[in-house]
Amino acid sequence: MKRILLLVCALSLLLAATALAVDNNVAGKCMTCHKEKTLGIYNQWYKSEHAKHNITCLDCHKAARDEVDAFEHEGAFIATLVTPRDCGNCHARETEEVMASYHATAGEILDSKDAYLAHAAGGAPVAIAGCENCHGSKVKIDPNSPNKLDRLSWPNSGIGRLNPDGSKGSCTACHTRHAFSVKQARQPEACSKCHLGPDHPQKEVYEESKHGNAYYTNREDMNLDADRWVVGLDYFEAPTCATCHMSATPNQPITHDVGQRISWTLRPPVSKTKPNWEQKRANMKDVCSNCHGAGFIDGHYAQFDGLVNLYNEKFAKPGLMLYKKAKELKLGEGTANFSNKYEWTWWEIWHHEGRRARHGAAMMGPDYTWWHGIYEVAQHFYFKYIPELREFDNPELNKMIDEVMADDYHNWMNRPTADIKADIKSGKMYAMYKDMYQVNTK
């Protein structure tokens, strides 16, 4: 019996060794060929941590014959697309965190108003080349394609890409292939492919802030290519996006779930606190505490909460209420969503200007908080949105508008300037907003 077991073990080892030798031979062919035909890819890999640890092309691209995107190439079955599930063979914890994160759901924008507007007002080509290349597309199979991937869904490295193997996301959205550099992923530019522009200008807000100023002034001292990268220990000149949302602190491990330190959701028309927001805020305060005292941190969050509540209570909630009533009454000439001017105005108030204000306050970007934010929210609320709704001359809607405009937040327009200035100087105007400097979870 022992001889049989030994024979089976020996045969298994022989088969494993043979398979490894075959794989090594194929991997060697990969590198030899790609060094000649795609030298850039080869050199990116050659200088990477993968190469240093003998992780070859085949380790990532090898596929089973029956996988939907597998095709035979130079004696091996491979897949062009490397998914989080593939990466999870070595990076299991990171993959689990990514799959549980808000990033992994970004592909669901395919069913949102953003995508609707891109398709209806623009057209499919802009939805594919624009929306889907940040948020991720559903990668489709084309059996007639050389790599079996439909060319309208590939290339795509969107953060919430829907992959043929059922996984969500794309590691290469942050760790650009084929170097997969942690140094690159730690820098704000890694996030700025998607987090910029009129509706979510985190890149621009960061660059305006003292955090961004300190980073760009001291980039060479940030120790970005270190193996360990703990804020306060390995670097302390400035934070990057990764510092605040992902990287390790002396008290927290690195996380690939970017929502674990975010207490408000700033995306929708009306901001709401996230589930378990107290713990998430504590997580972010722990990051802040490596460079700031408790009074500084509490003051920042009071100011941030105040701005979010101001936006919510003064503009977003009444604006959304009026929008819903106009839609309920079927006011306007067009039938489809966005076929009337007031719909576009309301969209830009919350989706562009309101988000800019909220992100500006979150990231200490005062110009985006006011001039690119609440200034434009107010101007367009008072002098575009309300007048456009008034044009319908609908009694029910007009009554609601009158009630909104009679509120203390809005009736300043009917008061003498001298009285308003006096209220500002006396502190009365500040007192009117005193309850906003705390979290309102309703």
Tens of pLDDT, residue by residue over 239-291, are 999 999 999 999 999 999 999 999 999 999 999 999 999 999 999 999 999 99
pLDDT of residue 111: 72
pLDDT tens per residue, range 367-385: 999 999 999 999 999 999 9
- 50-78 CB burial, b ≥16 within 10 A, e <16: bbeeebbbbbbbbbeeebebbbebeebeb
Residue 380: asked if its preceding bond is cis (omega within 30°), the reply is no
**Which of 19-28, 49-58, 119-128, 211-220 has the weakest average pLDDT?**
19-28
Q: Which of 117-121, 289-293, 345-349 has the lowest mean pLDDT?
A: 117-121
Q: Which residue has the higher pLDDT, 439 or 24?
A: 439
Residues 6+ apart with CB under 8 A from 174: 159, 185, 190, 191
Report strand pairing: 76-78 vs 71-73. antiparallel
Per-residue pLDDT, averaged over 417-427, amounts to 96
Return the pLDDT at 170. Answer: 94
313-323 pLDDT, tens digit per residue, is 999 999 999 99
Sorting pLDDT into bands at 50, 70 and 90, what band is 109? confident
Grouping H, G, I as helix, E, B as strand and the rest as coil, residue 209 is: coil
Spatial contact of 181 and 175, defined as CB atoms under 8 Å apart = yes
* Residues shown for the chain: 442
pLDDT at 46 over 50: yes
Q: Give the global pTM.
A: 0.90
Averaged pLDDT, 297-315: 97
Q: Determine the average pLDDT of the residues in 327-333.
A: 94
d(CA 152, CA 163): 14
- Token pair for residue 312? 């919510």
If one counts every other C-beta atom within 10 angstroms of the C-beta of residue 228, the result is 9
pLDDT of residue 10 exceeding 80, the answer is no
How far the first Cα of the chain sits from its last, in Å, is 72
Mean pLDDT of 83-112: 91
Task: Collect contacts of 400-405 with beta carbons under 8 A, ≥24 apart.
Answer: 400/321, 400/322, 400/325, 401/322, 404/318, 404/321, 404/322
SS3 62: strand
Question: What whole-number distance in Å separates Cα of residue 242 and Cα of residue 223?
Answer: 14
Confidence at residue 108, expressed as pLDDT on a 0 to 100 scale: 83
Whether the pLDDT of residue 27 is over 80: the answer is: no
pLDDT exceeding 90 applies to what percent of the chain?
Answer: 87
Share of the chain above pLDDT 70, in %: 94
